[in-house]
Structure 1
Amino acid sequence: MQITVLIVPPFSTLCNAAFNLRREVFVWEQKVPEEEEHDSDDLTATHLVAIAEGEVVGTLRMLDKPEHIKIGRVAVRQAYRGNGIAKQMMIAAMDHARAKGRDRFYLTAQSDKLGFYERLGYVAFGPEFQDGGMPHYAMRTYEKDTAKLTS
């Protein structure tokens, strides 16, 4: 399956399709309260979309914080899961940040997704916590840990 990963501006047509996908995955499928799904960070985030068969099938956002790049809102349409789309988006996001000289990454992962992020070089730290009604862990990594995994 041919996947194209693009960086898109907030509230562009493709970004709006990504917001709809996030609503589909997080609000409808995972029952995250809608008021928690979108926030003011969407205005300043760098948004990535994955396109397959002419439609947005994956998305994530990156927040440029002083101490790290925070990756979040990683979502793939249910029918397209298992095709490596999330991995392609994560690699593209990390490569984009590296090109800007950023090499520290942070995210919060749903507890059942820890293995996926660990394979990308992330390490969980701190206690498990609830976010959107689901258990999560904070995870981080640094360039020295991930360069060989994502290149």
Structure 2
Amino acid sequence: MPHVTLKPIAAEDTLALRHSVLWPDKPFDYVRLPDDADGFHLGGFVDGELVSVISLFIAESDATTSRIARFRKFATAPAYQGRGIGTQLLNHVIEHARQRGATHIWCDARLTAAGFYERFGMQAEGDVFHKGPIPYSRFGMAL
């Protein structure tokens, strides 16, 4: 496993990797999020190169006083996938959410990644839906 440095990054620094990994066939602005300015963005670096990104958003739940965390636009460069880098980022984001009082964390996950999220204890929380031709499901867990 390569030596990985994790550090907070600006939302703008996530965009190129988000675009190239997640939605390369869409316009570049497709990967911008309206609430990017409010998020916590984490980068994984190998030898100074940004190779993985994830963005975390924490909000008060409308129904209760609990805080709900959602991570989005989780992307790792193909050459670095399967090497434990994404695992390190997600573990860090889960802990970050816990420290900020979140009681639940969730994401919209591509079904091709379901096994990855299940290894963290996350479970499907709804029906399958599609973003374009890609099947997704909401995955989440209590913190």
Give the TM-score normalised by the residue count of structure 2. Answer: 0.87
Q: CA RMSD in A?
A: 1.5
Q: Deviations over 1:38-94 (max 9, x none)?
A: 121212111010000110000010111213100111100011111011110000001
1:21 to 17, 23, 34: 17
Q: Which residue of 2 aligns with 1:49?
A: 43
1:34–1:10 distance in 2 versus 1, CA, 3 Å:
closer
Aligned counterparts of 1:116 and 1:33: Cα–Cα separation in 2 = 28
Q: Which stretches of structure 1, 4 residues or more, deviate above 6 A after TM superposition?
A: none
Amino acid at match of 1:142: A
More helix by share: 1
- Structure 1's unaligned 5+ residue stretches are 144-151
Preserved CA contact (<8 Å) 1:49 1:89: yes
Aligned to 1:147: none
Q: Which residue of 1 aligns with 2:97?
A: 97
What CA distance in whole angstroms lies between the structure 1 residues aligned with 2:117 and 2:96? 18
In the aligned structure 1, how far is the partner of 2:11 from the partner of 2:73? 14
Aligned in 2, Cα 1:126/1:107: closer, same or farther, shift over 3 Å?
same
Instruction: Give the conservation status (yes or no) of the 8 Å contact 1:124–1:138.
Output: yes
Q: With the length of structure 1 as denominator, give the TM-score of the two structures.
A: 0.83
Distance 1:32 1:116 in 2: 25
Alpha carbons 1:4, 1:50 under 8 Å: kept: yes
How far 1:119 moved relative to its partner? 0.5
Matched AA of 2:69: I
